[in-house]
Amino acid sequence: MFGLKATRIDCCIKGCMLFYDNEYGKNDGHLLQCKFCHKTRYHDPKVGTSKRKLIPMKTMFYLPIIPRLQRLFTSMQTVGQMIWHYDNRRPSGVLRHPSDGQAWKNFDQVHPDFAAEPRNIRLGLCYDRFNPYIQASAKPYSCWPVTFLLKCAC
């Protein structure tokens, strides 16, 4: 609809692996069962059909983040918010934004080339008591916060 692609990827029914070929040498897209738990990738085809369409047991959608971020930078309404952390630095000693924190400042000192470009992005993903498999399992599930650093390719 908006020109942003989404890729459907088959997954192991137990969440052990993705059946996916990538440019880094992980070529698991051809496998018919999980490498770890040996569960089958596809539902059993209906008996008596000459043309069988393989239906995966579980799939996920991969939404590439780079085109979405590029779109935010091309919009005049959102570009100011994308570089807010660079334009609104204040040495007040008050923590108003993660860019005011000691970890951000320490990262800027260790990686001055990354910090010098206002279009470089730091994405934080943090959640508390989030269970992505709430319907599949009643067991507690532990998720850890992850931080992504994206360098502007300009």
Between these two residues, 83 and 149, which has the higher pLDDT value?
83
Are 108 and 118 in contact by the 8 Å Cβ rule? The answer is no
Determine the Cα–Cα distance for residues 15 and 114; give it in Å rounded to an integer: 35
Domain residue limits, the chain: 1-63, 65-154
pLDDT at 31: 92
pLDDT tens, position by position, 82-133: 888 888 877 777 777 778 888 888 888 999 998 898 888 887 666 555 555 5
Written as six digits, the tokens of 61 are 């959608």
- Average pLDDT of every residue of the chain: 78
The distance from CA 57 to its chain's CA centroid, rounded to whole angstroms, is 22
Task: Compute the distance between CA of residue 121 and CA of residue 150 in angstroms, rounded to an integer.
Answer: 5
Long-range contacts of 106-114 (CB under 8 A, 24+ apart): 114/149, 114/151
User: Which range is most confident: 39-48, 64-73, 126-135?
Assistant: 64-73
C-alpha dihedral sign at 108, 110, 114, 116:
positive
pTM greater than 0.75 (yes/no):
no
Query: What's the pLDDT at 149?
Result: 60
pLDDT of res. 3: 72
Distance, in Å, from the CA atom of 26 to the CA atom of 47, rounded to the nearest integer, reads 33
At 143 the three-state DSSP class reads coil
